[in-house]
Amino acid sequence: MASKKAYNVEINRSYCKSCGLCYWICPTKTIIKGKYDKPEIPDQTKCIGCLQCERICPDFAINVVEIVEEKSEENK
C-alpha cells in the first residue's frame, strides 16, 4: 500500500505582513485568506508539499515540513 506524505505548514506570524501571495499561489488552497487578509490554514492535510508558498513568501515567514512517519519493517 502506498503511503501518502503529510506536511506541516508553519507560518511565523511575527514575520508575516499579510501580502496574500501564499494563498494566491497555493494550488490546493491549503492556505486561505482569513480575517484582515491574514493567511489561515484550516486543514493541513490538503498540503501536497509543493513548497510554492515557502518560496514566494517575501518575508520568509513560511516553513513547510514533511511529517516523517515510522516505516514498517516490510519496506527494508
Question: What residues line the site for ligand SF4 (CB under 6 A)?
Answer: 7, 9, 11, 16-22, 25-28, 30-31, 39, 47-53, 57, 59, 61-62, 64
Minimum distance, C-beta of residue 72 to ligand SF4, in the bound complex (Å): 26
Minimum distance, C-beta of residue 73 to ligand SF4, in the bound complex (Å): 30
**What is the gyration radius of the CA atoms in the chain, in angstroms?**
14
Minimum distance, C-beta of residue 30 to ligand SF4, in the bound complex (Å): 4
**Rounded Cα gap, residues 74 and 3, in angstroms:** 13
**Rounded Cα gap, residues 43 and 20, in angstroms:** 18
Which cell is 15 given? 514575520
